[in-house]
Structure 1
Amino acid sequence: MKVDVDTPGVADPGPGRRIGIDVGTVRIGVAVSDPAGILATPVETVPRETDFNDPDLEDIDRLLEIIANNQAVEVVVGMPRDLKGNGSRSVLHALDISRRLRRRLETGDTSIPVRMADERLTTVAATNALRACGINARKGRKIIDQAAAVQILQTWLDGRANYLNRMSQEERSQ
């Protein structure tokens, strides 16, 4: 199935922290940006509880708590795709979590956009980075999800900066 993702910087909410989320079947990795939206850092790994048929459970509540505590202006959920842009069953998990977050964030006082980001090869990059630091895959399972969330969010932040710079240059040239 062909899966669409959002473009970083389009309909940008402005300055503020962003939350990056890597959805797995067992764990959800979470990262946060600095207030300027330049650098992503790991936050925590949230145990996955919610599945397609259950109501929102503690995992969704914890993600919403992280979003609120960081006063996030945008949430970026990784969309697992292959190199041709097609999705797998994992896409359904990411879409389900993003739908649940979007629904809960829309009922709050502020509307925080939930974006879908291309996460191709982020887990591979995160695994390689941890291996380079001397952390093996078995010991790194709990932090690999955070590292993947950092990769997702950092890629988004870089794309956002490029898009906003390009738009600014176009405005100046007119």
Structure 2
Amino acid sequence: MRIMGLDVGDKTIGVAVSDLMGWTAQGVATIRRSRLAADLEHLRELVKTYEVERIVCGLPRNMNGTYGPRAEGIRKFGSLVEKKLNIPVDYWDERLTTVAAQKTLIAGDLSRAKRKQVVDKLAAVLILQNYMDAKAHLAAKEQSKETSE
């Protein structure tokens, strides 16, 4: 099952997709936002191309764990995606993913212009990879629990 990760911003949407086994995330696109209908159509095309069965939206949280106005906007966007694309949407804590993406790109010695082109896509990769790693960890924990009983 392929999963799509989204880093939804005001100007762009970073998009990542998992491999078929759900082990690794790869960045596939940065959508330049225009109209909501156009954004949804871009996502629809990517969902179809990659045969995605679930979407994970990065959900911005404050450092103290509370949700702010941006989180509400992401939830509304996710609800629209779920409704219009008929695909389940989960949310994942995206705290510091853009910061981590920036640091990774700086360490890779990318110019500011090139970083700007790929930072949202890399943030989507981090969101999706963290989501998949957590799900795998929970599954392993459950399996271990079942075998020990």
**TM-score under structure 2 length normalisation:** 0.93
Deviation string, structure 1 residues 48-97 (Cα, Å, up to 9, x no partner):
124xxxxx411111112111211112110000112111223322331122
Q: Distance in 2 between matches of 1:165 and 1:81?
A: 27
**Greater fraction of residues in helix:** 2
| Paired residue secondary structure (1:57) | helix
Q: Match for 1:32: what amino acid?
A: V
Matched, 1:124 2:109: no
Of 93-102 and 17-26, the range deviating more from structure 2 = 93-102
| Paired residue secondary structure (1:134) | coil
Runs of 4+ in 1 over 6 A off after TM superposition: none
Q: Match for 1:169: what amino acid?
A: S
1:45 is aligned to: 30
Q: CA RMSD in A?
A: 1.3
The percentage of counterpart residues that share the same residue type is: 35
| Paired residue secondary structure (1:164) | helix
Would the aligned equivalents of 1:24 and 1:90 in 2 still touch at CA under 8 Å?
Answer: no
Q: Distance in 1 between matches of 2:145 and 2:34?
A: 46
Unaligned runs of 5+ in 1: 1-15, 51-55, 107-111
Structure 1 residues 142 and 93: alpha-carbon distance in aligned structure 2, compared to 1, 3 A threshold? farther
How many residues in Structure 1 have an aligned counterpart in Structure 2? 149
Structure 1 residues 137 and 93: alpha-carbon distance in aligned structure 2, compared to 1, 3 A threshold? farther
Q: Distance in 1 between matches of 2:60 and 2:116?
A: 18
1:65 is aligned to: 45
Q: Distance in 1 between matches of 2:138 and 2:32?
A: 34
Q: Match for 2:77: what amino acid?
A: I
Would the aligned equivalents of 1:29 and 1:149 in 2 still touch at CA under 8 Å?
Answer: yes
74, 93, 96: which one pairs with 1:94? 74
Q: Distance in 2 between matches of 1:133 and 1:166?
A: 35
| Paired residue secondary structure (1:120) | coil
| Paired residue secondary structure (1:73) | strand
Q: Distance in 1 between matches of 2:91 and 2:34?
A: 21
**TM-score under structure 1 length normalisation:** 0.81
Q: Match for 1:91: what amino acid?
A: A
| Paired residue secondary structure (2:44) | helix
Unaligned runs of 5+ in 2: none
Q: Match for 1:99: what amino acid?
A: S
**Greater fraction of residues in strand:** 2
Would the aligned equivalents of 1:127 and 1:137 in 2 still touch at CA under 8 Å?
Answer: no
